Structure 1
């Protein structure tokens, strides 16, 4: 299959590309710059989001698109400027993608877009599935709603459109888990805030396999949660992490300290949501790492 990917050189995108190549697909990666791109058999790099690019010409005949482009949510403190950048990067790249699709004589059958469980808002008591509505309208919730709203316009072209709402992706060297490891390795790990907030996690391998699963299962449409079927409260997550590392879980980090350190971005660790992957389970996906202990053991003891 001929597949286009935005964000194909990022944390998730690069791993998805490698997996799709093993499945025999031809990959076209949309990128802002063609400089210093690693040559790979089966991969073509196409310039986009610049005045001197015309990607539609090179994308004629593609059968599916993965849309993963967007400014990292946890990369920098949320200043007013950074919050606007987070939103704009998603809206502008989506609008450009829709413009490209409008120019294609043969439209792709499927558009699979990254999204986030931030869609649901934060709660310590609610359990969210794909059928759930939002419980607040904080910054992240608003971003995800606007993002999905733009992506949904692809349906006007008759394209199957799926929103992959990602939980906290676990990988030993990147993302949230990597940032949490240092305190435990220094014997000063402990609960963040109250520890009662829900941590809806997923192993990176299941992320990649689920993205491929969505492509293969044409009956899937709309939102699908990419989270483990067994979310944990932060205090339980920390205890499990400490146990696997053979380190104590004992020094709490109070909420006020994290708010001073991180500002509004502290919501990423102080607030949470209990999210279940109802769609994935209903359609027969079998998680490689459904349980936290197995997932962390795989990531940290390889």
Structure 2
């Protein structure tokens, strides 16, 4: 196969590219920093700066669209929100424009999204793929991202959308989550009862590979582990494995004052279950948090 990966130098994308290359396939990486991408992959990939640089006769068998600026970072001002939208919706629309002029259309498009689609929900509300979108900026971001990608289906391309939970791995969100615990000043955030829906990076990669090769996979999937946990349980489990005390709670109010709506990523949550993956018998390598953290810490 010849696979186009956007976001190929990121936390998930870089590991995916390495695996696809190791399996003997060829890869084109879409990156705003072509020289850095070539260095990272030791010249083994083709690199384009944008979808506009893809020729109409490029023969791609699959697209994996992971592009997107980090949602955790500068405050969500109007300008920052536009950056987050452009890095997702804008890139996706440019891919769709190439698809419309392509002489050879790929068979499958794997599209990243996030459980932020569901907005902030109470812990007792179990969310499946059929649950409605929520409110707030994160939900708007995911809704618009998915809607932009969905147009590829009208062009005859099979599409698999992965609504990712908090991805745990050697990078990404986990190191900053563990840092206060490692320093001995960890504790719950807010009430600690907000639900944390998560997934190990290895299971995300296995899901992407399954989506690329299984023609029966189509539509939206919650990419979360079967075990959802309260944020306080995450802290307690990490503290046990790291042999550190967890005694210093962080109140929600100062975080909301300092971070605005972005604070919901830390003190609010969603109880998201992978209903479709379980129905189709997907075998999670790390179905429980303790298994995932034992592997990673």
Give the TM-score band, short-chain normalised: over 0.9
Which one of 168, 173, 177 corresponds to residue 174 of structure 2?
Answer: 177
Q: Is residue 258 of structure 1 aligned with residue 260 of structure 2?
A: no
Deviation at residue 41 of structure 1 after TM alignment:
6.3
Provide the rounded CA distance (Å) in 2 between the counterparts of 1:218 and 1:42: 28
Which one of 205, 208, 218 corresponds to residue 208 of structure 1?
Answer: 205
Deviation at residue 76 of structure 1 after TM alignment:
2.1
Deviation at residue 54 of structure 1 after TM alignment:
2.7
The answer to whether the Cα contact below 8 Å between 2:32 and 2:50 also exists between their aligned partners in 1 is yes
1:289 aligns with 286
Provide the rounded CA distance (Å) in 2 between the counterparts of 1:286 and 1:145: 28
1:171-250 alignment runs, 5 A limit: 171-172=169-170, 174-250=171-247
What SS does structure 1 have at the residue aligned with 2:88? helix
What SS does structure 1 have at the residue aligned with 2:48? strand
1:3 aligns with 3
The answer to whether the Cα contact below 8 Å between 1:198 and 1:233 also exists between their aligned partners in 2 is yes
Which deviates more, 100-109 or 276-285?
Answer: 276-285
The answer to whether the Cα contact below 8 Å between 1:213 and 1:285 also exists between their aligned partners in 2 is no
Which one of 29, 45, 48 corresponds to residue 47 of structure 2?
Answer: 45
Provide the rounded CA distance (Å) in 2 between the counterparts of 1:112 and 1:253: 37
**Unpaired runs of at least 5, structure 1:** none
1:78 aligns with 76
Provide the rounded CA distance (Å) in 1 between the counterparts of 2:179 and 2:277: 33
1:139 aligns with 137
1:35 aligns with 35
The answer to whether the Cα contact below 8 Å between 2:113 and 2:146 also exists between their aligned partners in 1 is yes
Q: For the aligned residues, what is the CA RMSD?
A: 1.5
The answer to whether the Cα contact below 8 Å between 1:2 and 1:61 also exists between their aligned partners in 2 is yes
Deviation at residue 56 of structure 1 after TM alignment:
2.5
TM-score by length of 2: 0.95
Which one of 160, 163, 171 corresponds to residue 162 of structure 1?
Answer: 160
**Unpaired runs of at least 5, structure 2:** none
Deviation at residue 239 of structure 1 after TM alignment:
0.6
Deviation at residue 22 of structure 1 after TM alignment:
2.0
1:129 aligns with 128
Provide the rounded CA distance (Å) in 1 between the counterparts of 2:92 and 2:192: 36
Instruction: Report the count of equivalent residues.
Output: 294
What SS does structure 2 have at the residue aligned with 1:11? coil
The answer to whether the Cα contact below 8 Å between 1:56 and 1:101 also exists between their aligned partners in 2 is no
Per-residue CA deviations over 1:34-70 (Å, capped at 9, x if unaligned) read 2232254652112326xxx53124x622111001111
TM-score by length of 1: 0.93
Provide the rounded CA distance (Å) in 2 between the counterparts of 1:163 and 1:183: 33
Which one of 105, 108, 113 corresponds to residue 111 of structure 2?
Answer: 113
Deviation at residue 106 of structure 1 after TM alignment:
1.3
Q: Is residue 20 of structure 1 aligned with residue 47 of structure 2?
A: no
Which one of 272, 277, 290 corresponds to residue 274 of structure 2?
Answer: 277
Provide the rounded CA distance (Å) in 2 between the counterparts of 1:186 and 1:47: 40
1:56 aligns with 55
